[in-house]
Chains A and B, each alone.
Chain A
Amino acid sequence: MRHKVLVVYPHKCTGCRICEQWCAQAHHGEMNPAKARLAVHRIHDRQINVPVACSQCVQAPCIEVCPAECIGRDEETFGLTLNAEECLGCRMCVDRCVRGAIKMDADAETPLLCDLCGGDPQCVKHCPEGAIDYVPFDRADRGFREHHAQRLADEQGGVR
């Protein structure tokens, strides 16, 4: 697997939603986070911000479940594509997405699918915190490993 994927780090996200703004702007030319292909969800009672974005599943449930077979992927980037004319607006893809990352465009009545901006994802480019990254699949696990190892080290303090 040599394609690149999006990786999100909730522990780095501050909830500014700049990613949403640039995503909507890139795809629709609009100032409207409801049109973004990702969203930052804030868990208010714990003040935690969770970026929810497409992870480019290898076996993508959205593609497999679509009864109209209108979701595909770009061979080069692995980003999702949509044949909007065939779309039923049934939201099966929304239901099945393992990350809850598919939003519906309320105007077009079709899903908002991440196309990775053709290989230059605007969310990644503009995140001020590095909370969303775009890395080769074979390195997509490393940031988490580092984070959790660091946390373990912090918990243990100076003890070896």
Chain B
Amino acid sequence: MSNVVGLTGRMLRVDLSSGEVKAVATPRDRFERFLGARGVGASMLFDELEPHTDPLSPANKLIFLTGPLVGTMAPGANKVTVSFRSPLTETYSFSLCGGHLAPEIKFAGFDGLVIEGRSDRPVYLSIDNGKATLRDAAHLWGKLTHDTEDALRAELGDPELRVAAIGPAGERQVRYACIQADYHREFGRGGGGAVMGSKNLKAIAARGTGSVEVADAAALAEIAEQVYAELAEHPKARLRRRFGTAEMVEGTNHFGYWATRNFTTGHFEEADRLTGPALKEKLFIGDNSCYACPVACGKVSPVRRGPFEGQTIEGPEFETVGLLGANCGVSDPDAIVAATAICDAYGFDTMSAGATISLAMEAYEQGILGPEDTGGVDLRFGNGEALVAVAQQIGERRGLGDVLAEGSRRAAERFGVPDLAMQVKGQEMATYEPRGVVGMGLSYAISPKGGHHMIAPTMGLETAGDPARRLIPDGKAKMVRDTQLIMTIVDSLAMCSSMRFVLGLESMLRLYRAVTGIALGEEEALRIAERVDNLERLFNLREGLTRAHDTLPRRLLQEAMPSGSSQGNTVPLDTMLDEYYRLMGWDSHGVPTPERMQELGLTREWEAAREAWGGGGT
């Protein structure tokens, strides 16, 4: 077996039940078969989790992984993934975190860590230059995420320590609680924070001063310089540098696919207050970068309202502006920032929070909920104060917040209006309204972690050239599949998705070769990506998920878009699904075929999945 240069060669295995922490050899063969981060995480999770594992039980795991490029000067290679069975969706899930945590884990001497079991009391994990210990966290339990970071920096005596922590939302197992790092970066989606809370693990603190070995430093430096230069000139990267990801507000709203008022339409009349230039003028006061990234899409904003008034946050980014903003009918940037600050401090996902609050707002406007349910809050669309008040209720699991903490699917069932939950497989969709950009509808439907936008973000491609094509299904299955394969490679290399503006597959593989010494061809890389995507599919098949689960809220399939430039459209999902399954080599029920699994080297996994699944649901 060849050596994958760039890996430290060691991982941590932490059994919270017994308290045992041990360093184990990194499974290098998995890095060859599944590339890294997301791919290796999927493979380990599939092998280590029993089917139907309760996501909030000790048997679930949190598998954190970096990859060979992390910690080098490879631009944007600053992500660490966490893989787990989601308490929100009960499917396979993973989430990525940028910032400065991932390289620190490598500098501390580890490629990743597996967290298993459950501690009988609150603990945190301290990783310090090759050593790791579990420590008592009774004094940290209940603390907000940033207070936890500060307390650990003081306690461990290192102001440059990097911390991933849960807040009160994770402790209380809000089903979309995130794991927060660097104050305002997070493993955002799917409820990894709730899993961490269920394990009584408050935080992971890392510090390291070691080096990451690379095969060809000169080649790596040359590619890095080239990427810096290309990013400095690239129009999209330049927009992100100035306005953050909020640069997308104008186009998304213009083309009528900006989810507004709980996806009742795709056009927000007050979007002018939330465009990138508007936020830059009225809100943003600074810029932040993740490690080794010259784009600096992170924007810094003052909190001018709410319980965290007077503080500053990094953000809000586009999805947050969309889901806490337009999707709740709120156009006041200060209200969005106040709600974001609550989400970050308590540690829960701004996106799922926005789409769950918008559900409650729609139910309130329909008279299904009244002031007696909301603690007196006038929960109309557009009421920024109500948004802030309910966000805090969620963080504290208080009153209505206790119901909304369960996520939109469970809350909507509780309210008796399941169709009003804007989710797929229990995961709230992102802010691209699929009736106005139908490929994103397919993308949400087939995503292995539920309604997530970064599995196959096709919106840019769908509006390029002739924007009217965004409304029709033609060619979308192939577009989704092609985008999905590239994103799987990006995530498995632990790179930021923004790098793909200038880094095509060929450049990514040049970077990979410079670091690892492995000359991976494009065809083989795509094959690995397809292997990862199919393995994720098999994880969900093992849980009984087939075509019936690859669907969208009825509103998007049956009700015509009522306003904006995508007016009149619905999502022709079945047409696209048929074509997508065919391209993937799956049968008409969305089940991978044994022939294709054999070609991808997944026969063992296929047999295990089929045995647990038993053939139902088709």
**Is B one of A's binding partners?**
yes
Residue ranges of A at the interface with B (Cβ–Cβ < 8 Å):
14-18, 21-22, 25, 28-35, 39, 41-42, 44-49, 106, 126, 128-129
Pairwise interchain contact B312-A46, C-beta atoms closer than 8 A = yes
Q: Which residue in A29, A41, A44 is a CB contact (below 8 Å) of B182?
A: A44
Residue ranges of B at the interface with A (Cβ–Cβ < 8 Å):
71-73, 100, 103, 107, 146, 149-150, 159-160, 182-184, 208-214, 217, 221, 225, 228, 231-232, 286-294, 296, 298, 300, 311-314
Bound Cα distance A128, B287 (Å): 13
Most buried by A among B211, B292, B300: B211
Write out the residue numbers on chain A whose beta carbons fall within 8 Å of the beta carbon of B289: 14-17
Write out the residue numbers on chain B whose beta carbons fall within 8 Å of the beta carbon of A45: 146, 150, 183, 311-312
B215–chain A nearest beta-carbon distance, Å? 11
B283–chain A nearest beta-carbon distance, Å? 13
A112–chain B nearest beta-carbon distance, Å? 12
Seed contacts A33-B103, A34-B210; 12 additional CB < 8 Å A-B pairs: A14-B287, A17-B292, A18-B294, A21-B292, A22-B221, A30-B211, A31-B211, A32-B107, A41-B160, A45-B146, A47-B313, A47-B314
Write out the residue numbers on chain B whose beta carbons fall within 8 Å of the beta carbon of A129: 296
Bound Cα distance A28, B293 (Å): 21
Asked, given contacts A34-B209, A47-B300, whether A128 binds B288 with beta carbons under 8 Å apart, the answer is: no
Asked, given contacts A46-B312, A47-B183, whether A15 binds B211 with beta carbons under 8 Å apart, the answer is: no
Pairwise interchain contact B73-A22, C-beta atoms closer than 8 A = yes
Write out the residue numbers on chain B whose beta carbons fall within 8 Å of the beta carbon of A32: 107, 209-212
Asked, given contacts A47-B286, A49-B288, whether A16 binds B296 with beta carbons under 8 Å apart, the answer is: yes
Pairwise interchain contact B232-A31, C-beta atoms closer than 8 A = no
Asked, given contacts A31-B214, A44-B183, A45-B311, whether A21 binds B73 with beta carbons under 8 Å apart, the answer is: yes
Pairwise interchain contact A31-B72, C-beta atoms closer than 8 A = yes
Pairwise interchain contact B211-A16, C-beta atoms closer than 8 A = no
Asked, given contacts A32-B107, A45-B311, whether A25 binds B211 with beta carbons under 8 Å apart, the answer is: no
Pairwise interchain contact A29-B217, C-beta atoms closer than 8 A = yes
Q: Which residue in B183, B213, B293 is a CB contact (below 8 Å) of A16?
A: B293
Nearest-CB residue, chain B, relative to A21: B73
Q: Can you spell out 21 A-B residue pairs with CB atoms less than 8 angstroms apart?
A: A14-B288, A14-B296, A16-B289, A16-B296, A21-B73, A25-B221, A30-B211, A32-B210, A32-B212, A42-B182, A44-B146, A44-B183, A45-B150, A46-B312, A47-B183, A47-B288, A47-B314, A128-B232, A128-B294, A128-B296, A129-B296
Bound Cα distance A18, B225 (Å): 11
Nearest-CB residue, chain B, relative to A24: B211
B225–chain A nearest beta-carbon distance, Å? 8
Nearest-CB residue, chain B, relative to A26: B221
Asked, given contacts A21-B73, A31-B73, A44-B183, whether A16 binds B210 with beta carbons under 8 Å apart, the answer is: no
A95–chain B nearest beta-carbon distance, Å? 17
Write out the residue numbers on chain B whose beta carbons fall within 8 Å of the beta carbon of A21: 73, 292
Nearest-CB residue, chain A, relative to B69: A31
Most buried by A among B182, B183, B231, B294: B294
